[in-house]
Amino acid sequence: MVEFQPAFSTGLGAVYNTDCLNLLASLRTESIDTVFADPPFNIGKDYGNGSDKDLLHHDDYLEWCFGWIDDCIRVLKPGGAFFIYHLPQQAFRLANFLESREMYFRHWIALSMKGTFPRGRKLYPAHYALLYFTKGEPATFNRVRLPIPTCRHCGKDIKDYGGHRKCLNPLGLNLTDFWDDTSPARHRKFKARWHINELKPMIPGRCIEFSTNEGDFVLDPFGGGGSTFEAAQNLNRHWVGTELVDCSLIRDRFHRNLPHVREELPEALRGLLINPNPNLSLQPRPCLRSLKKSTMTEPKHALNGSGSPLLLTRSSQPLQGSR
């Protein structure tokens, strides 16, 4: 049986260089407090393994999503939170599926999308969707407050709050479901992997902050440049995840942004694994739904981590949106 050891780990978390289905199949049922997922959007983006991997036929893409979503629901604790970042034209389908799995809808958070353009007979797309569902009543909901916005030139408040300024909580404004300060890090200098669309750690950071407490477990199946892992580490949460293409960029990111954090095996993660072992290696077992999905694409690769299950099976129409 193929085993996967962590590609990078700290005292709080570990990331594996393999298909997320391998990690999901290795995790205990109801062991994770929050899942944050920023999957490939299926718009032909090249994450370093070819753009065709991100251009499936629409039905195959959804079937693949439903596979990992089902696995994520299985590993979530009762009351755990599930966040999925996507384009609205896919997010509504994923939301529908989540509801069919008896997940509770909490919010559709709109994050402003900059630098796009209208195509065809459509409106100008100006937001990404961040779905927020819970497995039953939320186990944790911490209030997150943002500083009262001020003008960067004169330092005065930007709004007058209808004359009720003095009634505002001095700790700041309640976080709303519209986030206008989260545009992606576009400049190469600020990104761990400039060719993927890395999120500002603030995005997973807020989700982790309001849905978990210190010491809880956060899972990100699509690690990318490691924004979720950095945010979880900073917030003193345990974290675990996968990245199919290259995890050295996540290690680089930690060395650059968190140089005081040592590389070590996180003991607490042992409790998450179905088959715990000293190296924290994964010994994946096929999940039912993953297995069904993998026979549709590439059975050998889907379970051994040597390739992506996101394979082009039929022709596909790219969706409107950017990565």
Ligand X SMILES: C[S@@+](CC[C@H](N)C(=O)[O-])C[C@H]1O[C@@H](n2cnc3c(N)ncnc32)[C@H](O)[C@@H]1O
Task: Give the binding site for ligand X (CB under 6 A).
Answer: 19-20, 38, 40, 47, 196-199, 221-222, 224-227, 242-245, 308-310
For residue 129, the minimal CB distance to ligand X (Å) is 14
Q: Between residues 245 and 258, which has the closer beta carbon with respect to ligand X?
A: 245
CA atoms of 16 and 247, how far apart (whole Å): 8
Burial of 166 from C-beta contacts in 10 A (0-12 / 13-18 / 19+): exposed
For residue 236, the minimal CB distance to ligand X (Å) is 20
Q: Between residues 197 and 316, which has the closer beta carbon with respect to ligand X?
A: 197
Helix orientation angle between 202-211 and 227-234, rounded to the nearest 10 degrees: 50
For the beta sheet containing 76-86, the strands, ordered from the edge strand earlier in sequence to the opposite edge, are 8-9, 13-16, 238-242, 217-220, 32-37, 76-86, 127-134, 104-112, 178-179
CA atoms of 31 and 229, how far apart (whole Å): 17
Q: Between residues 17 and 139, which has the closer beta carbon with respect to ligand X?
A: 17
Residue nearest ligand X by beta-carbon distance: 224
For residue 162, the minimal CB distance to ligand X (Å) is 37
Q: Between residues 139 and 203, which has the closer beta carbon with respect to ligand X?
A: 203
For residue 44, the minimal CB distance to ligand X (Å) is 13
For residue 16, the minimal CB distance to ligand X (Å) is 9
Answer for the pair 35, 237: CB distance below 8 angstroms, yes or no.
Answer: no
Q: Between residues 26 and 197, which has the closer beta carbon with respect to ligand X?
A: 197
Backbone angles phi, psi at 253, to 5 degrees: -60, -45
For residue 185, the minimal CB distance to ligand X (Å) is 9
Answer for the pair 244, 18: CB distance below 8 angstroms, yes or no.
Answer: yes
Q: Between residues 80 and 221, which has the closer beta carbon with respect to ligand X?
A: 221
Strands 32-37 and 217-220: what pairing? Answer: parallel
For residue 169, the minimal CB distance to ligand X (Å) is 30
Residue 301 has which token pair? 């690769």
Answer for the pair 229, 13: CB distance below 8 angstroms, yes or no.
Answer: yes
Q: Between residues 40 and 139, which has the closer beta carbon with respect to ligand X?
A: 40
Q: Between residues 20 and 207, which has the closer beta carbon with respect to ligand X?
A: 20
Answer for the pair 60, 300: CB distance below 8 angstroms, yes or no.
Answer: no
For residue 52, the minimal CB distance to ligand X (Å) is 13
